[in-house]
Amino acid sequence: MVVSERIGQLFVEHDGSRDRLEYTEYGAGPAWVVLLPAPLVPRRMHQRLARTLAEQGLHVLTLDPLGHGRSDRPADPQVHATSAWARQVLALLDHVGADQAVVGGTSVGANVALEVAVLAPQRVRGLVLEAPVLHSSLEAGMLSAGPLLLVARHLPWAVDGVRRLTRPVPRGLVPFWAGIGLDALDQRSDAVAAMLHGLLFGALAPSPAQRRAITVPALVVGHRGDLLHRAADAEMLAKELGDARLLLARTPWEWRARPHRLDEATVALALRAWQRPARRRAGG
């Protein structure tokens, strides 16, 4: 089945600045799904999953939050907090006229999906949460992000030099995931420093009490053997949420290398979420 694909843009304002967000829209219809990437990774990482969902009749949006992919990359840590990215998701829903959506994400993208469910619970039909970053993953995250923050702040030529080396490589001439990796290396030092500052020194996820108040259907996917995204976080989150199914990927790369099992579970979750009675928006 061939599904339509369209690239769109919208603008968000924050403290007097106006920044551009870019997204891709797959399929059509009233059953919306939003997919969010891992930090520094472009939305294209979810291209195959988005196509799979759209083939099942779902209307899918993949978003580059600020600092990612082809969206603007402001050097302001405040626009890179998970709550700020969640508000960008809500701005996207407003832009396309979607009252509600299933919201999913990978790594910190999963945390952002949780923030959307806390900020606007009436707009979330369900959640797809791959490799969330919570208590068990904090130390590894700080050990990996901290040195990169220092490099971006104090050795900016290193980050900018990698950008100059990787940007000319034609993405169409390399394998798909090699292209994603090259895109992830295409960074500006000031924007990377701002993003990592926002993540390391802001609230990374909703509180346990806020997470326990989330009752929409959720699929939580943990990664066995992933030191940056400990499976214990996924297991804990699945117990906290009111209606969650836990799946453990056999390796961190299962969903990329052999996606059928996890794709099937995601399609089932999204369809079930859209079969539930709609929650009315405040003031509706």
What CATH code is carried by the domain that includes residue 33?
A: 3.40.50.1820
Domain that holds residue 72: 5-136+204-275
Q: Does the residue 226 lie in any domain?
A: yes
**DSSP string spanning 160-178?**
HHHHHHHTTS-GGGS-HHH
Kindly report the pTM of this predicted structure: 0.94
Q: Considering the domain boundaries, does residue 168 fall inside one?
A: no
Give the pairing of strands 59-64 and 17-26: antiparallel
Residues with Cβ < 8 Å from 175, sequence gap 6 or more?
none
Q: How confident is the model at residue 279, as a pLDDT?
A: 63
Q: Domain for residue 79, yes or no?
A: yes
What does the block give as tokens for 118?
């806390």
Residue 195 lies in a domain: no
Instruction: Tell me if 210 sits within 8 A of 118, measured CB to CB.
Output: yes
180-231 residue pLDDT tens? 999 999 999 999 999 999 998 888 999 999 999 999 999 999 999 998 999 9
Please check whether residue 243 lies inside any domain of the structure. yes
The residues pairing with 199 across neighbouring beta strands, listed in sequence order, are: none
CB 106 within 8 A of CB 45: yes
The whole-chain average pLDDT of the chain stands at 94
Who wins on pLDDT, 7 or 135? 7
Report yes or no on 232 lying in a domain.
Answer: yes
Structural domain contains residue 176: no
pLDDT over 90 at 3, yes or no: no
Q: Which residue has the tokens 């066995």?
A: 224
CA distance 82 to 114: 9
Give the chain's domain count: 1
Which residues have a Cβ under 8 Å from the Cβ of 79 and sit 6 or more positions away? 14, 19, 66, 67, 194, 198
- The total of other beta-carbon atoms located within 10 Å of residue 11's CB is 11
Tell me if 191 is assigned to some domain. no
Query: How far from 127 is each of 8, 113, 140, CA to CA, in Å?
Result: 23, 7, 25
Tokens of 75: 């050097």
Please identify which residue in the block is written with the tokens 């924050």: 14
Q: Which is more confident, 220 or 136?
A: 220
